[in-house]
């Protein structure tokens, strides 16, 4: 029987505009009342998870920052696996040289190596790219799309040294670029640095963590802590960084919009897309199998 359901967030639980599907939420509520535990496993940091927790009613433990952190909402549980410092110090200058928008997620919140205005302005440009005919105000009133949320728990410093001097340990780096052409060749440079895991197929939008932990490794560690086996957990994910928690898990699901690698790794490929009924569809399959 399934005792735990683990949900990726972006592209799986919500759509591109941070919307949940109402029937997915109702389904989650229904099975929570039956005693099944739900948790998120996301590339997001804690600040970005707060909206998701409130709107989804998923209030269990969290695997965040692409598997480098496991914690509960209160923070009384908190296991972290920081990046190798030497690798981090070699990687950041490469991203800076190529004019990436850089977010450094640490054990003490998000750090940036620029001023707040420049950081926010470039974020807005990235948000609006490909959204012709809409304004920022048209986008959902959520953390990712609003200055009040995106700059919350954010510290601006002038150097890498300051991050470590403040006792913050980098867990994950998000690097985004407005111009894919300018980002060409960066992945090859990063691949030359040992102890880095780069979980993206696109050089203009990459996520970087340590190479000894990911969502799947952390999930297996969490299952041991909870006394659960692989056949007592169901996993949902759509992206390259979800493959590690789909492959090898007997009840793994990817939505219709899942990437090629996710579809190859998952036991089930759904007909519905993330944020549009994929969670409900997967839970119905588990019900038909008499597993929930």
pLDDT computed for residue 271 by the predictor: 97
Tokens of 274: 């993330």
Tokens of 253: 């699901």
**What percent of the chain has pLDDT above 90?**
76
In angstroms, how far apart are the furthest CA atoms of the chain? Answer: 56
Residue 67 scores a pLDDT above 90: yes
Cα–Cα dist 86/91, whole Å = 9
| C-alpha of 89 from chain center | 23
Q: What is the pLDDT of residues 215-270, one digit of tens each?
A: 999 999 999 999 999 999 999 999 988 999 999 999 999 999 999 999 999 999 99
Contact criterion met (CB below 8 Å) for 103 and 155 = no
Q: What is the pLDDT of residues 171-180, one digit of tens each?
A: 999 999 999 8
Contact criterion met (CB below 8 Å) for 80 and 68 = yes
Residue 92 scores a pLDDT above 80: yes
Contact criterion met (CB below 8 Å) for 205 and 235 = no
Residue 71 scores a pLDDT above 90: yes
Helices (H), the chain: 22-33, 46-56, 85-97, 116-128, 147-150, 160-165, 186-191, 215-226, 260-265, 278-288
- For the chain, which residues make up each domain, given as ranges? 4-81+214-289, 85-210
Mean per-residue pLDDT, 189-206:
88
DSSP assignment letter at 187: H
Strand partners, 268: 253
Pairing of strands 62-64, 37-41: parallel
Axis crossing angle, helix 22-33 with helix 46-56, rounded to the nearest 10: 80
Task: Kindly report the pTM of this predicted structure.
Answer: 0.88
Tokens of 217: 């490794």
According to CATH, the topology of domain 4-81+214-289 is Rossmann fold (3.40.50)
138-145 contacts at long range (C-beta below 8 A, 24 or more positions apart): 139/17, 140/17, 140/18, 140/19, 142/18, 142/51, 143/47, 143/48, 143/50, 143/51, 144/18, 144/48, 144/51, 145/18
pLDDT computed for residue 19 by the predictor: 74
Q: Which CATH code fits 85-210?
A: 3.30.1240.10
Q: What is the pLDDT of residues 113-152, one digit of tens each?
A: 999 999 999 999 999 998 888 899 988 888 899 999 999 9
Average pLDDT, rounded, for the chain: 93
Mean per-residue pLDDT, 270-277:
93
Nearest to 13 by CA among 39, 47, 45, 46: 39
Residue 29 scores a pLDDT above 80: yes
**Which of 9-23, 102-116, 122-136 shows the lowest mean pLDDT across its residues?**
9-23
Q: Provide Rg for the chain, Cα atoms.
A: 19
pLDDT computed for residue 201 by the predictor: 63
pLDDT computed for residue 17 by the predictor: 67
Nearest to 6 by CA among 37, 27, 32, 43: 37
């Amino acid at each position: 029987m399934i005792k735990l359901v683990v949900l990726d967030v972006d592209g799986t639980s919500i759509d591109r505009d941070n919307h949940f599907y109402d029937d997915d939420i109702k389904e989650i509520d229904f099975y929570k009342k039956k005693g099944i535990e739900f948790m998120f496993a996301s590339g997001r940091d804690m600040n970005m998870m707060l909206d998701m927790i409130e709107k989804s009613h998923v209030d269990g433990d969290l695997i965040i920052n692409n598997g480098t952190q496991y914690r509960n909402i209160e923070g009384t549980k908190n296991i972290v696996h920081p990046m190798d410092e030497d690798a981090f110090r070699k990687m950041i200058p490469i991203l800076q040289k190529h004019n990436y928008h850089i977010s450094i997620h640490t054990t003490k919140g998000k750090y940036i190596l620029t001023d707040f205005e420049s950081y926010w302005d470039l974020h807005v440009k990235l948000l609006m790219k490909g959204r012709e005919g809409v304004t920022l105000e048209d986008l959902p009133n959520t953390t990712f799309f609003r200055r009040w949320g995106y700059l919350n728990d954010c510290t601006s410093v002038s150097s890498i040294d300051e991050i470590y001097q403040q006792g913050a340990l980098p867990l994950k780096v998000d690097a985004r670029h407005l111009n894919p052409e300018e980002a060409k060749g960066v992945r090859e440079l990063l691949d030359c640095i040992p102890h880095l895991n780069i979980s993206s197929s696109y050089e203009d939008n990459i996520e970087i963590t340590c190479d000894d932990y990911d969502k799947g490794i952390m999930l297996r560690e969490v299952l041991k802590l909870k006394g659960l086996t692989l056949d007592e957990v169901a996993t949902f994910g759509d992206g390259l960084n979800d493959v590690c928690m789909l492959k090898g898990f007997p009840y793994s699901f990817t939505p219709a919009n899942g990437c090629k690698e996710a579809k190859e790794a998952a036991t089930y490929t759904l007909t519905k897309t993330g944020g549009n009924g994929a969670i409900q569809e997967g839970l119905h399959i588990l019900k038909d199998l008499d597993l929930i």
